[in-house]
Amino acid sequence: MTSTTSDQKAVSCPLMTKPPRQRLVSKDGRSLMRGSAPGSRETWFGALRDMWGTWLALRWRWVVLAFCGSFLLHWLLFAVLWYLLALRI
């Protein structure tokens, strides 16, 4: 039976270790994202590239509004397609 020593622990396997990841939200709930001036072109392109961070930075009322709006829009699209298919038959 082998025993683990401190020498064995010092050897690391690069395939098994995970690189440290930057947090988007601190442990106390503050956003750690830094952005450029509001309304600038860099802000819009950065928001499109990082949609997850953009959703995290939004207020909850806008997230709920976007969710409800997309839900209603998809059901409306489904109803229109259903009606158009029903007219053809």
Within 10 Å of residue 33's Cβ, how many Cβ atoms?
A: 15
Say if 87 falls within a structural domain. yes
Count up the domains in the chain and report the number: 1
Q: What is the pLDDT of residues 64-86, one digit of tens each?
A: 999 999 999 999 999 999 999 99
In a domain, 64, yes or no: yes
In whole angstroms, what is the distance from residue 83 CA to residue 79 CA?
A: 6
Q: How many CB atoms lie within 10 A of CB 84?
A: 9
> Is residue 2 domain-resident?
no
Say if CB 11 and CB 43 are below 8 A apart: no
For 12-67, write each residue's pLDDT tens digit. Answer: 676 777 777 777 778 887 777 666 556 666 666 766 777 777 777 778 898 899 99
* Residue numbers of the domain that contains 79: 59-89
Could you give the CA distance from residue 36 to residue 17 in angstroms, rounded to a whole number? 34
For residue 19, being part of any structural domain is answered with no
The verdict on residue 46 lying in a domain is no
Domain contains 86: yes
The number of C-alpha atoms within 13 Å of 68 and in the hemisphere containing its C-beta is 6
Residue 18 inside a domain? The answer is no
Report the predicted TM-score, pTM, of the whole model to 2 decimal places: 0.43
Question: 50 in a domain, yes or no?
Answer: no
